[in-house]
Structures are given as C-alpha cells and as structure tokens.
A and B are shown apart, each in its own frame.
Chain A
C-alpha cells in the first residue's frame, strides 16, 4: 500500500431500529448517525442514541449467551447495522478471581478484568476499533486513521488490515519501540509526530477536516467509544448477571470510564441485571494527572497539563471526557487517585508476581492506585471490586527492564546450578544476578 491508494469517500447516512441517531451530551441537539462528533451549536461531544424499548423487546440473557464469543454478542447495544460486523475474536476476555493479590492487599472479593489478552492486539482498544471500523465500512469510508498513544494505532492498523481498509496512523515520535513495531508490521502509513499526544491529536483534527478519512477517535468517535461499554456488559455477565460493588479503571481521556458506567446503566435499564450502587474509582499517573487534580481540588473543570510519565498510554494532558469522568466518580462515591512512576513499576510487578498477569504501565497505574485506595481505607474489603487491566506488558518492556532483574547465568554443569540455586534462595538477587556463578 502506498499513499496514492488513500482515497477520500463521502459518508452515507443510515439508521436502524435500535440505532436512533446522535445527540449532543451538552445541549441535547440531535443529529443523524453520520460521521460527525461535535455539536454544531455548542461544540459538545455527540453520543449515540438508542431505542431501548426496541432492545428490551428483542434481547434477553439467553439471546446474548447464544451469540458469538466476542463483543458482538452485545451487538444490539452497539451502533452498527450490519449482520456481519468485523469480528476478529475481540472481547470476552477472562474475569479472574484474584485471590493472591487480594490477600496481599487485604481484600476478599477482588477480580481482574484482563484485557491484556484481548484480541487481536492485546489491549482494550480492539473493542472500540472493531466497532469503529465496522461503522466506518457502513458509512462508506475506505481509509481509516487515528491519533494514538500506541495501543490504538496497533489495533486500528491490525483490524484495518483484516478488513482490507487503507490505514494511516499518527503517533508521538517518542513511543515505546514495541508499540511502534506493533503498528508497522501491519503495513499502514505511520506518521511519527514530534510532539506529545495532545499535539498529535490537534494535528489529526486539522487533517480530519480536509481528507475525508474515517478517524476512529475523531469523526467516528461517537461509534468508537461505544465499544468500551462491552467491558461493562462482560463483567456483569461473567459475575453471573450481577453488578460489582466497586470498579477501578485507568483514566486517560476519561472515555473508557464513562462507557463502563453507561454499559452498567443500560443493562439495568433494559432489565438484564438488578440495579445496585456501583462505586467508580479512577487511576492516573502523577506525571499526567489533570482529572485527579480537579477531583482533589473539587473543581468541575479540567486544567490541561503537559504529560511527563512512563505511563504513556494514559498520558493525555487535555482529556476530552475528563469532566464526565469526574462527575461519575463523585456521584458514585468513588475516588480518583494518582501514583508516581516508581509506584507504577511496583504495580506492574505486584500484579505479575501475584496473579501471573504482565500488564503495561496503564495497568501498573491502576494496580498501584488500587493499593493506595485500600491503604487509605477507601475500598471495603468485602466489596466485590473489579479492576480493569487494559493493556499488555510486552508492549512497554522499557518501563520495567531495569527493575525486573536478570536471569542467572551459569555454566552447563550440575554444581554450577546447585551453587546458583543456593545463592538465589539466600541472597538478594538483583545485586549478584549479573555475575557468572
């Protein structure tokens, strides 16, 4: 594929029974379900409207359970019309009872929703991209694009390849090498922009004005963001059709957080699950904490920051859904907390050592915030608490390569092994592991 194959196409307009159109979250103005993301009147974000009465009449726990083993079992709640969505096995990731981590922290009912093993690119972004690209095809786009901190670029490039769409992605030029390679391999056009994510995002908004491409997180954003609701639906179904008491999730733009909430509320609204209060707590890195700061200062607006953290996947200094995430944390009696880079690395290691899950820096942030909230008495040990792990550690090895230790290098002899084993059991490994035993 080359740049000359990228073509602009005119979006079409269509609506289905359940997909009723778009609506401004701020002023309520209504729009057709086209490729547009902001209100022309007040610039507020647009959100998909559904006919919940129609969904209620046609969807039951049984019809969902009989669906595919992917996010598309919830297709009635997603903003697409086709009978053949792009299904690459995305979703239905494990909900793991995390007994060892729970004991370490002093909790009794802790679960990990493990999107570190989501398909096909090992992050929750596969959910939103599967939905966005399905809608992009319905709207007539032949080229898709995104602004990304890495995971979204991986996912957009991979699923576009599967769907036969042309793809051009924009990333900050300082991303972790695994995330860059994990995009390039699918052979899209990759623009590495000198600047942080917020600058990449601004550039993409300007490009989206002129090229007629489907930007999954810009002009397709109302559809794209709905994919995160499936993280709410799956947890309800995997808990045996019950809501948890408390969730902890990372906060970047704030979109994931608000869509988990929306997913929970929709299942209550159509009668699929019994209502109860769920507390929503959010995790940010100290080096990019605009939402946590607003929460602590009791503000209802977000002041942007310039990110400086190892948690690059959640380093959004100007979070578009920040105010909505703030509102949800407050009204559900949750918290928003921040942790420093050292705590993030410790969080990655803690989850790996106790549960066998290797997460990236966003997951390290979330685990470290979980620990901080427990220590502050802000999580009841008996609560059913679900922690969302949204990405895979093999993509951000730079974050932990200096603190995970080294293998013990030995000669291929039994006595060398015995001596090394003895030392491994008696000494602090980090100090001597690099020395031949």
Chain B
C-alpha cells in the first residue's frame, strides 16, 4: 500500500524539508518503518525506547485519530493520508 504522510514542521529537518512523504506499509507500524528507511532517525522521534508511539504524538488516518481505530495496528489502504500531529491545546 502506498500512503501519503504529512510531516509536521519539527520533523521536516529529517525529511529534507518535505512536508509530505510517500510511504509503503499495510499498517501504521509498517508505515513508520518505511518512513525510517527513507528518513533515518525519524522513528526515534516518533517512538520511545520500547518502540511504542510517544504519548505526545498523534497519528490521524484520513482525519481519524488512530486511537479510535487500532492504534499502531490500524490497517492502511492505497491512497490513504496519514497525518502526524504534535499534541496541541486550545479552547
């Protein structure tokens, strides 16, 4: 599966300033590995030492928070858009 990944500003140093990167993978976890292969070092920013996604990182699959889906095991389809967003506040 080929998906489009939206990269937030703080990570764009690792993607040669690209705001989007095309990745392969059948799940979010696969996609992170694909992203790491293209942009070495990015996985360590997204995941903690145990390999789990960091608590201040949000992943959205086609606008839906993956925590409402299957987290890292959420399955991807061709053409999906995955957005990586740092936690933010407001009101």
Chain A contacts for B9, CB-based, 8 A: 36, 208-209
Q: How far is the CA of A195 from the CA of B62 in the complex (A)?
A: 13
- Known A-B contacts A41-B45, A304-B65; the reply to A148 vs B91 at CB < 8 A is yes
Asked if B65 and A316 sit within 8 Å, CB to CB, the answer is: no
Contact with A along B62-91 (1 / 0, CB 8 A): 010101100000000000000101111111
Bound-state Cα–Cα, A202 to B91, Å:
13
By the criterion CB–CB under 8 Å, are B85 and A205 in contact? yes
Given contacts A43-B57, A44-B56, A151-B91, contact A205 B65 (CB under 8 A): no
The count of residues in chain B whose C-beta lies closer than 8 Å to any C-beta of chain A is 28
**What does the 1/0 interface line of B32-70 toward A look like (CB < 8 Å)?**
000000000000011000000011111010010101100
Q: Contact at B45–A43, with CB atoms within 8 Å?
A: yes
Chain A residue nearest in CB terms to B57: A43
In the complex the two chains form, is B54's CB within 8 Å of A43's CB? yes
A interface residues, how many (CB within 8 angstroms): 51
- Give residues 343-378 of A contacting B (CB, 8 Å): none
Whole-angstrom distance between the alpha carbons of A285 and B62 in the complex?
Answer: 28
> Is the beta-carbon distance between A225 and B90 smaller than 8 angstroms?
no
A395 at the interface (CB under 8 A from B): no
- B8 near A: Cβ within 8 Å? yes
Taking beta carbons and an 8 Å cutoff, which residues of B are in contact with A?
6, 8-13, 19, 45-46, 54-58, 60, 63, 65, 67-68, 83, 85-91
With A148-B90, A210-B19, A319-B89 already in contact, 19 other A-B pairs whose C-beta atoms are closer than 8 Å = A36-B10, A39-B10, A41-B45, A42-B45, A42-B56, A43-B56, A43-B57, A45-B56, A125-B91, A146-B90, A147-B88, A205-B86, A206-B85, A253-B91, A301-B55, A304-B67, A314-B91, A318-B87, A320-B88
Interchain Cβ contacts under 8 Å between A and B, 19 examples: A26-B56, A37-B88, A40-B11, A42-B54, A43-B45, A146-B90, A148-B91, A202-B63, A205-B8, A205-B85, A206-B6, A221-B88, A252-B91, A256-B91, A313-B91, A314-B91, A316-B90, A318-B87, A320-B88
Nearest 6 pairs of A and B residues by beta carbon: A253-B89, A38-B86, A320-B89, A320-B87, A217-B90, A43-B56
